[in-house]
């Protein structure tokens, strides 16, 4: 029994789950009280064992993919993403699907999205005027959602485009705030709860859209987008993906590809404008591109890259990644039995003072002065299951940040500290980062 071997809270499991959802600092409080590792109960009689050391990450991430399953740890996400989602399947099935999908996020395929990101940003900020107020979180969500709709479906305008925007925002919004508990515990996924009934209604709307899109695309193939790439996938027998598998992969891409990037960009704008030296250094690096927005050169700028990395250090895409052990393992000298849910806490690792001196400070310079290993800096997880969209996310962040900073001088509406607010599995900045457009710098 994990509870007898390792320390952890003694409160009821539902209170521990609620605490994890409502308090961004809950795991840190547990770490300070119990040391590493500690467990938290997120399901009845189901402890989750938390580690935050790079050595633990290395041992878990380098284990054979058939020895550490991710799907069962994230089982509560199945209603949101679908049982065939890349995030929820394991073993050879996951490896095969990942190999199929990887080309859409590498090399020329990814760089072809550069102009899409730039043009979408321009379209969304062309109405900004001097002395006007903008809520950055909302603006970034519009940009990132439009980018992913064009990248996945080739949609950038029209009735279908607008329908997708509205339905997807409503779909993920069901789990805002305290309602995120429905994504952390299967015990609450029951129709006796009004939130779950609302969610089930939204599922029908999402299915109608995506299955309709599948039928439409079968009649009109050969488009240049991720959906088209998925339609060309064939197994050894020449069979394509089933409609259910297509639906689940498309929905996963749409949800994972916009909300997370939007929140990262909102945090970046907030931190940059709270640190005059960071803002000045970044604008100085960008200045040579004010007359010629060279996307590929901008994407290679070292300080811009460091700003994005530091943002995702403090605000990783997800706070934790987990694996269900399929066999006993030794992790940091601890003998862990099979069928244990092991969690690598990204948020705790990224705030380790031995790795990141003064970890609560926003300091991009640390990424200029040091290169961190893939077991020390893990904003997108690691190993065979590291997020496919890592390069796409960094690419989009850099282009959007650079384009806006080259065209506008912004100021935070208030210097009041911002706190993280739960939205589904991610944390957004409270208030959405309202800003004032002080000056338009270029057309």
Is residue 436 reached through a cis peptide bond, with omega within 30 degrees of 0 on the bond before it? Answer: no
For residue 421, what are the domain limits? 2-440
Looking at residue 354, which CATH number applies to its domain? 1.10.630.10
Q: Provide the pLDDT confidence category of residue 89 given band limits of 50, 70 and 90.
A: very high
Q: Which pLDDT value is given to residue 221?
A: 65
> Picking from 17-21, 140-144, 326-330, which range would have the lowest pLDDT averaged per residue?
17-21
- Whether residue 260 contacts residue 317, with contact meaning beta carbons closer than 8 Å, is answered with yes
Burial string for 134-149 (b: 16+ CB within 10 Å, else e) reads bebbebbbbbbbbbbb
Pairing of strands 341-345, 46-51: parallel
17, pLDDT greater than 80 = yes
Q: What are the beta bridge partners of residue 50?
A: 38, 343
172, pLDDT greater than 70 = yes
Indicate the burial class of 157 (C-beta count within 10 angstroms; 0-12, 13-18, 19 or more). Answer: exposed
Q: Provide the pLDDT confidence category of residue 426 given band limits of 50, 70 and 90.
A: confident
Q: What is the pLDDT of residues 307-333, one digit of tens each?
A: 999 999 999 988 999 999 999 999 999
Q: Does 30 belong to an annotated binding site?
A: no
Q: Which pLDDT value is given to residue 149?
A: 87
Query: What is the percentage of the chain residues whose pLDDT exceeds 70?
Result: 98
Q: What is the pLDDT of residues 144-167, one digit of tens each?
A: 989 988 888 888 778 888 888 888
Query: Rounded to two decimals, what is the model's pTM?
Result: 0.91
Q: Which pLDDT value is given to residue 443?
A: 60
Q: Which pLDDT value is given to residue 348?
A: 97
**CA 395, CA 117: separation in Å to the nearest integer?**
9
Averaged pLDDT for residues 69-89: 86
Query: In sequence order, which residues have a C-beta less than 8 Å from that of residue 307 and are 6 or more positions away?
Result: 268, 272, 278, 282, 364, 401
Q: Provide the pLDDT confidence category of residue 45 given band limits of 50, 70 and 90.
A: confident
Q: What is the pLDDT of residues 98-116, one digit of tens each?
A: 888 887 787 777 788 899 9
**CA 197, CA 182: separation in Å to the nearest integer?**
11
What does the block give as tokens for 251? 């929905």
**DSSP code for 77:** G
61, pLDDT greater than 90 = yes
Query: In sequence order, which residues have a C-beta less than 8 Å from that of residue 149 and are 6 or more positions away?
Result: 155, 156, 161, 164, 165, 254
Q: What is the pLDDT of residues 187-246, one digit of tens each?
A: 788 888 888 888 888 888 888 888 888 888 877 766 778 888 888 877 777 877 888 988
Number of residues in the chain? 443
442, pLDDT greater than 70 = no
**CA 407, CA 390: separation in Å to the nearest integer?**
26
**CA 34, CA 25: separation in Å to the nearest integer?**
14
Q: What is the pLDDT of residues 249-297, one digit of tens each?
A: 888 888 877 778 999 999 999 999 999 999 999 999 999 998 899 999 9
**CA 278, CA 78: separation in Å to the nearest integer?**
40
Q: Provide the pLDDT confidence category of residue 341 given band limits of 50, 70 and 90.
A: very high
Q: What is the pLDDT of residues 116-133, one digit of tens each?
A: 999 999 999 998 999 999
Report the number of distinct structural domains present in the chain.
1
Q: Which pLDDT value is given to residue 439?
A: 85
Query: What is the percentage of the chain residues whose pLDDT exceeds 90?
Result: 51
Q: Which pLDDT value is given to residue 222?
A: 64
Q: What single string gives the DSSP state of each residue in 418-429?
A: P-EEEETTEEEE
Q: Which pLDDT value is given to residue 135?
A: 95
What does the block give as tokens for 73? 């740890």
Q: Which pLDDT value is given to residue 323?
A: 95
């Amino acid at each position: 029994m994990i509870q007898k071997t390792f320390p952890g809270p003694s409160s009821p499991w539902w209170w521990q789950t609620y605490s994890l959802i409502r308090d961004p600092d809950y795991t840190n409080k547990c770490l300070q009280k119990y040391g590493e590792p500690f467990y938290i109960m997120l399901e009845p009689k189901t402890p989750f064992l938390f580690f935050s050391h790079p050595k633990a990450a290395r041992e878990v991430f380098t284990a054979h993919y058939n020895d550490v399953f991710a799907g069962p740890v994230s089982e509560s996400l199945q209603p949101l993403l679908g049982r065939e989602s890349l995030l929820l399947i394991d073993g050879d099935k996951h490896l095969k699907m990942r190999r199929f999908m990887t080309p859409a996020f590498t090399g020329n395929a990814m760089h072809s999205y550069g102009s899409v990101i730039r043009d979408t940003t321009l379209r969304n900020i062309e109405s900004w005027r001097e002395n006007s107020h903008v809520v950055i979180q909302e603006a970034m969500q519009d940009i990132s959602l439009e980018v992913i709709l064009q990248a996945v479906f080739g949609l950038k305008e029209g009735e279908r485009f607008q329908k997708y925007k509205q339905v997807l925002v409503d779909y993920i919004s069901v789990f805002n705030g305290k309602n995120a508990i429905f994504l952390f515990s299967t015990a609450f996924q029951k129709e006796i709860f009004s939130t779950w009934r609302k969610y089930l209604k939204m599922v029908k709307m999402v299915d109608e859209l995506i299955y309709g899109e599948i039928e439409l695309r079968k009649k009109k193939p050969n488009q240049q987008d991720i959906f088209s790439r998925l339609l060309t996938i064939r197994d050894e027998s020449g069979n394509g993906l089933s409609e259910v598998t297509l639906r689940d992969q498309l929905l996963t891409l749409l949800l994972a590809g916009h909300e997370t990037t939007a929140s990262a960009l909102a945090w970046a704008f907030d931190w940059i404008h709270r640190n005059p030296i960071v803002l000045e250094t970044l604008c100085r690096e960008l200045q040579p591109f004010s007359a010629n927005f060279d996307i590929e050169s901008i994407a290679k700028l070292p300080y811009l890259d460091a700003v994005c990395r530091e943002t995702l250090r403090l605000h990783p895409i997800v706070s934790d990644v987990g694996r269900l052990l399929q066999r006993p393992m030794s992790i940091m000298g601890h003998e862990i039995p099979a069928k244990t849910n092991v969690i690598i806490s990204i948020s705790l690792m990224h705030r380790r003072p031995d790795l990141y001196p003064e970890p609560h400070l926003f300091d991009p310079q640390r990424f200029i002065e040091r290169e961190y290993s893939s077991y020390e800096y893990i904003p997108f997880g690691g190993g065979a299951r590291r997020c496919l969209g890592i390069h796409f996310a960094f690419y989009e962040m850099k282009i959007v940040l650079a384009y806006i900073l080259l065209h506008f001088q912004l100021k935070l509406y208030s210097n009041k500290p911002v706190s993280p607010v739960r939205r589904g599995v991610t944390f957004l900045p409270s208030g959405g980062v309202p800003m004032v457009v002080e000056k338009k710098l270029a057309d």
